[in-house]
Amino acid sequence: MDDTEKNDINQQSSPSEPKNIKTEEVSAEIERPEEISGSIPPDFPTDVPIYQESNNKGMFIGGAILFFIVVFGLIYWFFLRNIINPPTSTPAPTSNENVTLTYWGLWDEAEIFQPVIESYQKEHPNITVKYEKMSPDQYRERLIARSQTGNGPDIFRFHNTWLPELQEVISPLPVDVMTVEEFNTTFYPIHQKDLKIQDQYYGIPLMIDGMVLVYNEDILKRAGLINPPTTWVSEGNDVFSAIKQFTVKDTNGTIITAGMAIGTATNVEHFGEIFGILLLLNGGDFKDLTTPEAAEALELYRKFSEDGYWDETMPMSTTAFIQGKVAMIMAPSWQIIDIKSQAPELNIKVAPIPQGLDGAAVSIASYWVEGVNKQSPHQAEAWEFLKYLSEKEQLLKMHETQSKVRLFGIAYPRQDMGDLLNDHPYLKPVISQAKDDVYVSLPLTSRTYDGGLNDEIVKYIEDAITSSSKGTDYSSALTTAGQGINVVLERFKIE
């Protein structure tokens, strides 16, 4: 699995300045030289031996030397301290300062975060957190535009593929809040690969999610199967064998029940992620779609439709699944919530994405991360709050609150909480794929609403699938798509 390509983001540092030492304040405490060696006042005794004057001069010289030693010692100490322990890029929080943090969220209502926000505010009475659920439409564009004018949020949510698009606004996670080692031992490998640039992390995840196989168990049972397919190739329990058993057609050859929603772009949700999975399993490179491996991946994707197991007369894949017209779809776990809310009676099960040759396993990650605005005057306080949210107690609390308002809550991002979801009917495969380091992040993700990287690249993949369905050979279709994709990657400085 290859990592999402990322670019360097310059860290902004703000070292503290040394306090000016006012020499007039220091010299006021020392006798001026003319008072010691100048003309003798009228009432001063005239019989003082001459050596007494020399002794006073020695005292003055010694005091002056001591003064300069102290001053230069303080200056040396200051610079040596900053060399040994340089200040971090984010200023330390001021414990007594009243701070208001603006938090832009997505998808979750304020009631999900309010209990943990209130708990944090009790522990930090000088901190006020204002959470606002934002509309996903043009969210990224608004985030950047508002931040550039100084009116952006202190904290914001972003997609795991967005880091190259947020260079103007995102700040690095300070090591005094969470070290690299602590991050690595806390979160999953995909978090480490997605959010790290050089030696710094740029975000704290509160969840994990990615593509899984969602299937209708009743259709499987009617077809005489106990388990869903575990591989794409022919091993008895492969995708093609299962699809043949699931597919039901009428006397005119019209599909009544399909085995899997795959093969077209117009009515298959997450077709970009599905193509990405096949591309990676076939050894292809997302940055070079001119290779035979890429053409073979597109050919395999199209084969399901060309062989008559799915076509454009079917409803949208999720709708078809809700209506019982397709046995299996590939989707992130949040899609299950939408499906069950419309069809609570469906007997839904979830499994990992089928494997490729030699047990190769790949899935496309799709999750959201919390970041801190580099324009925020309260970066330290914002990062401390996000670290608090990523603690076990707070994640459990949010999961519990989410589970009260929808089918289930988030899949925990922490490795030490994975076992808590071992028996979860929908999230177990999400966690197992994270543990096994199966996830890869590619900017092929549907419904991120980024108006840029993902949306533009997904459109090029859609054009390639559609043009190949109209007779364009696979290699030519992908070559054209690759040219457009390379323009997008260059614009976001992804090499």
Query: Which tokens is 89 given?
Result: 């890029």
> Do the beta carbons of residue 160 and residue 367 sit within 8 Å?
yes
- Kindly state whether residues 239 and 337 are assigned to the same domain: yes
Residue 94: inside a domain: no
Q: Are residues 218 and 327 part of one domain?
A: yes
User: Does one domain contain both 138 and 201?
Assistant: yes
Give a yes or no: residue 20 inside a domain.
no
Asked whether residue 225 falls in the same domain as residue 354, the answer is yes
What's the pLDDT score for residue 495?
Answer: 79
- How many alpha carbons fall within 13 Å on the CB side of residue 18? 13
Name the domain boundary from 43, 59, 84: 84
Last residue of a domain, one of 41, 60, 84: 84
Q: Which domain holds residue 243?
A: 211-364+452-491
Residues of 72-99 as b/e, b for ≥16 C-beta within 10 angstroms? eeeeeeeeeeeeeeeebbbbebeeeeeb
**Which regions in the chain score pLDDT beneath 50?**
1-61, 70-72, 75-92, 94
Nearest in space to 159 (alpha carbons), one of 442, 448, 406, 404: 448
Task: Label the pairing between strands 99-105 and 127-133.
Answer: parallel
- Is the pTM for the entire model greater than 0.85? no
| 300 shares a domain with 197 | no
Q: Looking only at Cα atoms, what is the longest distance across the chain? A: 136
458 and 485, same domain (yes or no): yes
Whether residue 215 sits in one domain with residue 111: no
Considering the domain architecture, whether residues 378 and 344 belong to the same structural domain is answered as no
| Residue at 287 is within a domain | yes
Backbone dihedral region for residue 198 (phi beyond 0: left; psi -120 to 50: alpha; all else: beta): left
Across 140-154, b (16+ Cβ under 10 Å) vs e yields beebeebbeeeebbb
Task: Give a yes or no: residue 257 inside a domain.
Answer: yes
- CATH code of the domain covering residue 380: 3.40.190.10
- The total of structural domains in the chain comes to 3
Query: Does residue 443 lie within any of the structural domains?
Result: no
Residue 298 in contact with residue 275, Cβ under 8 Å? yes
What is the distance between the alpha carbons of residues 228 and 205, in angstroms, rounded to a whole number?
31
Q: Which residues contact 470 (CB under 8 A, 6 or more apart)?
A: none
Whether residue 195 is contained in a domain is answered as yes
Write down which residue in 84, 109, 124 finishes a domain: 84
Burial category of 185 from C-beta neighbours within 10 Å (exposed 0-12, middle 13-18, buried 19 and up): exposed
Residue 92 domain-assigned (yes or no): no
Backbone angles phi, psi at 191, to 5 degrees: -65, -40
Query: pLDDT tens-digit profile of 296-347?
Result: 999 999 999 999 999 999 999 999 999 999 999 999 999 999 999 999 999 9
List Cβ neighbours of 382 (8 Å cut-off, separation of 6 or more).
101, 154, 155, 372, 373, 376
Domain co-membership, 317 together with 250: yes
Residues 305, 181 share a domain: no
In 10 A of CB 417, how many CB atoms? 16
Judgement on whether residues 261 and 343 belong to the same structural domain of the protein = yes
Q: What pLDDT score was predicted for residue 236?
A: 73
If asked whether residues 267 and 290 sit together in one domain, one would say yes
Q: What is the dihedral of CA 183, 186, 189, 195, to 10 degrees?
A: -40
Q: According to the model, what pLDDT value does residue 436 have?
A: 98
* Structure tokens belonging to residue 175: 């090591």
Assess if residue 90 is contained within a domain.
no
